Structure 1
């Protein structure tokens, strides 16, 4: 299957050219720095500056250990989204531009890659914002369905099954829908960076690739994304068992590492897929 060839090519590119992963390491650093700041909000000196904001929005309870850890996943989700949009829109294209240089057997230059990423930044930011907007809309709709399912009172039969599927399977349904959404948008990012220029041209190239390599693009995103499944299982276990409060922080940090790994593999593979037809033209 071509998806596995693309993943192998992406892994080989990262292994043979360490500089390609440098922007992704920086993105991971920003994620973990945001997590650290959020974790220490209840403590001095951050409490003085950020505490009033948390208190006003969520109440005084979340300014005390370990109750603030209940709020931490939600706050970190917002922080990750902001970092991904405003910094990921620059750092991911830098990595893509480096892969383009390596693919064409040119010396990998961070300066040139950064210049290309800066030029593509507005288009990439708009594309990622569009993709994340669709994902957030989907998440809101799924949350609404989960709330409706929670009100089902049936103790047996199909309605009880539906309730269990929605309540316990929501994270996995959400993950699958994210993969489907990303399948229809993600290739536009490397298309912009590698030369499509305008958003309209990038989207046309994206949809052409999806139409021609639908199973390949889906598989390229689906297989690495399976790494999220153990994390969902561990989070569910942590909720229903007596674990250390700091387990939440560890799982969030692990989730950030998985996110960056998956993004790196997906966009490296999609970049190679975008470049391959050009070589055959």
Structure 2
């Protein structure tokens, strides 16, 4: 006798970090509990929405750059929801055959993502912890869609900010680098406040506390020197490690970042030799 197992549903009673991010981006996959937490976070860092949008702009530019280098398969680690002109939408606008796997460890985000991508045969959303590379690479959908014998584009726009120093983010980046074929690229963005004024640094610290209290996730803030050290053994593409707003900007098209948020994140793309 066959028994029917009902598909689990996303938890909409507890705030979710992916849906909070979607709210800041102007998306529709968020609920009142997410919006309430998002506004509490905004109360301690008023420019947090612009920071989120600047990070998404950086991601879009990074994906377009990788496409121009011939990359046609992407893994987006700690991706959040696949909404608001995310990796697969940018990629498919230029290459409809590009393959994309979104990775997130939060079950509700994955359930939402699976629904969003139900009609996308070349795109998958998987539940895996990006801090465990073997967990990612061994997933059946990754093995189905991603050919690691060929160059791949890894997007780390939402991963390393959640990795504690004791868990060695440099070693994590190196593990992903070593799994990729030569000619692959790793695109990384990260929260930073080393160019911020004292008031903004205080706001960033309060934002980190608010995320921990609101959704149980601590954000780690690092300076440029610490982030730059992670790219050993790779070739940084021009213009190197810069503020996100300064990484191959689209004049007149990106978020107006002339606010404290402009200096709150670095971005870079590196080629695997």
| Higher percent of residues as strand | 2
| Higher percent of residues as helix | 1
Q: Under a length normalisation based on structure 2, what TM-score does the superposition of the two structures give?
A: 0.28
Larger Rg: 1
Q: Under a length normalisation based on structure 1, what TM-score does the superposition of the two structures give?
A: 0.27
